[in-house]
Structure 1
């Protein structure tokens, strides 16, 4: 830790807002660090940036911590820092605010200071692009303007002064480039027959999530598409999903597949802080020393759902209490607000549906993760961008009917483009098998292997590897084998068909496997025909072969004589 089932539609409502709709990062924008020191004896004050964008910010109250009813806040969405006290309280409050700014080089920076009718607010501005802050200027607002209860004062700061020694270099993460898929081990066989909310079902058929054969097939299918691991939905100790997690870890270990959990922080609403502490502790008691679980620098990685259901201060209390018990993890928060990086080690979003301008959202969160370390001398934080094939919860009772059509894979590829353009450390797939919300890529009755095939393309493109995902390798082998078959290279064609079929068989791709078997049989027939012809030639008596060779020689001699005679007649 650093310093320190509600619907998807409902969570998206929490996250909607200026962060998503108002921020548009232009190509010429850069990141710069600034220090603002706000000193005030007024009973309230606000400092707002009118040009440019506050990407992230942290603050410390260096004087006035004990002033009654004093509250300070920083809201990057609204580009402001604020302070309030009891009315007419003139106690001095001093705040140091570190800010990462997005700035356009052709714009000067406009600030405004607002305050109450009493006393003053002073703002000291520093360039902080280097190791130490460099003082630029002081602005004082002690006005009491008739008719203006906010006593607004605007002023401009030379952008060249703020951008000197900048821009900041992005901090590069050292984690390996991985693809994860959200995985749900909560299904019982009878649900596939009785649930009215299901509009698609898996090709593997009705099954229990506890079935080891199904778990093994799922992992093999995921691996064939280039997915490195599952983020397993986890609801606490001794839950059905927890029982299945033990089986998943056992099988994944045999197949060299990574496993982490998605700690479900909501259950019919936000869990209490105490419940969350117990949940973390029970996880560590069960899996803290389990080396089959995915780790970074020895610490287990835990994705945490819907952290915005609690403020950062609550999560700091929760994770500090866990750390006090001797447990340290790497925590990846589902949050659209970068201030959670004060507590967590990285950010992700679960859903893409309903997010306005996904590319801009991802770019802002990515840049937040790669610059937040300038506040605390930490290395880069992890940014995990999500791709999703579509969404449909219209048949789930109590849901709002959120719907995003798949558009024959176009939406999936659109989310991938937004994700990959944000330079993520990890790519997340929502989801492998969330059938209620219809975000699944698992082979299904409606879509067959379409989305597993698309995932293989997405994973190969993201990782930029010389070798393709196994499923793409199988398709490539199959295509090459068809070309060899057309060229009558039956032995080579058969070998490639067999290699492709082996991959298809492992993941239950029966359609392709049957085609490969058909061509293998055809190649075998042609090979047997060739062998039969050779055997017949070898079995022909030598005397017959000699007579045949003599007849052939005589025929060639006669043809030669005829040609010679014709040439002489043409040239007397």
Structure 2
């Protein structure tokens, strides 16, 4: 738990907020998956815990739930729906829970489970139904009809062949930032409330946007951003964030 405190404290010092991504395990109960009864007494009021206005009007901590499809909708519904036998809704342990959408059928499971929204996570366009830009409009329409939050996830590129040599067909080249631009434009075109970036520093999947300089070891060549500067993707992220905020203001007019 001390690592979690450091996680929040460092964000607070740097005037940032953090939302947590939780990984679903088939070996844990539904209440253990949610984890808020464990987290909230210690960190629920922390100033760096990112909060979002839920469908009920309450401003609550936001959680991304990775691999949410590993647990049956009926089990999730016990804790995430108002009438669930172990419901946390309306209690001090309530939150905004956003589930991972991989396959098209997952959107119906997510709705039945009682989740508050969906996110797509994967940075490789075309890898899954959820990560395919061409499907985002339909997903957003489904979410709007069912009062769900839609969080499209974008990335600067994708290459994981250093750890998954067989997966070259899912590689997406950065093209000096154009892949990132295209992904972000696709996300903004459906007018989401939140856009997620995959990732800040997941180097083994080639999705990092943090500063990078050329480096080669005996076993690996690290991708850099040349001929662009080391902070090229941070600058692109800043520009798109500013654009996103301006666009959102127009949507609300």
Shorter-chain-normalised TM-score: which range?
0.7 to 0.9
CA-to-partner distance for each residue in 1:384-442, whole Å, 9 max, x for gaps? Answer: 11111111111116874542221221211121121111111111111111112110000
When residues 274 and 411 of structure 1 are mapped into structure 2, their CA distance, relative to the original with a 3 A threshold, is: same
The alignment partner of 1:426 has SS state of: coil
The alignment partner of 2:176 has SS state of: helix
CA distance in 1, matches of 2:34, 2:88: 12
Unpaired runs of 5+ residues, structure 2, are 53-57, 214-223, 248-253
Q: Which residue of 1 aligns with 2:76?
A: 315
How far 1:444 sits from its partner (Å)? 0.6
CA-to-partner distance for each residue in 1:221-251, whole Å, 9 max, x for gaps? Answer: xxxxxxxxxxxxxxxxx4xxxx433223223
Count of aligned pairs: 214
Q: Which residue of 1 aligns with 2:96?
A: 330
Instruction: Answer whether contact 2:24 2:33 (CA < 8 A) is retained.
Output: no
How far 1:275 sits from its partner (Å)? 7.5
Instruction: Answer whether contact 1:387 1:419 (CA < 8 A) is retained.
Output: yes
The alignment partner of 1:323 has SS state of: coil
Structure number with larger C-alpha Rg: 1
The alignment partner of 2:196 has SS state of: strand
CA-to-partner distance for each residue in 1:321-370, whole Å, 9 max, x for gaps? Answer: 36187521111111243221341111111013124683331111111111
CA-to-partner distance for each residue in 1:196-235, whole Å, 9 max, x for gaps? Answer: xxxxxxxxxxxxxxxxxxxxxxxxxxxxxxxxxxxxxxxx
1:265 and 2:24 matched:
yes
Superposed, which structure 2 residues align to 1:39-54 within 5 Å?
none
Q: Which residue of 2 aligns with 1:348?
A: 119
CA distance in 2, matches of 1:365, 1:285: 35
The alignment partner of 1:331 has SS state of: strand
- Structure number with the bigger relative contact order (C-alpha 8 A, sep ≥ 6) is 1
CA distance in 2, matches of 1:274, 1:323: 11
CA distance in 1, matches of 2:164, 2:144: 40
Unpaired runs of 5+ residues, structure 1, are 1-237, 373-379, 466-572
The alignment partner of 2:143 has SS state of: helix
Instruction: Answer whether contact 2:210 2:233 (CA < 8 A) is retained.
Output: yes
| TM-score of the superposed pair, with normalisation by structure 1 | 0.35
How far 1:317 sits from its partner (Å)? 2.3
CA distance in 2, matches of 1:461, 1:289: 31
How far 1:309 sits from its partner (Å)? 1.7
CA-to-partner distance for each residue in 1:252-299, whole Å, 9 max, x for gaps? Answer: 223331211001214xxx443357347343223432333431223342
Q: Which residue of 2 aligns with 1:458?
A: 240
Given candidates 364, 372, 385, the residue that maps to 2:152 is 385
The alignment partner of 1:423 has SS state of: coil
When residues 403 and 397 of structure 1 are mapped into structure 2, their CA distance, relative to the original with a 3 A threshold, is: closer
The alignment partner of 1:464 has SS state of: helix
Q: Which residue of 2 aligns with 1:430?
A: 198
CA-to-partner distance for each residue in 1:160-191, whole Å, 9 max, x for gaps? Answer: xxxxxxxxxxxxxxxxxxxxxxxxxxxxxxxx
Q: Which residue of 2 aligns with 1:405?
A: 173
When residues 394 and 327 of structure 1 are mapped into structure 2, their CA distance, relative to the original with a 3 A threshold, is: same
The alignment partner of 1:314 has SS state of: helix
| TM-score of the superposed pair, with normalisation by structure 2 | 0.74
Instruction: Answer whether contact 2:36 2:93 (CA < 8 A) is retained.
Output: no
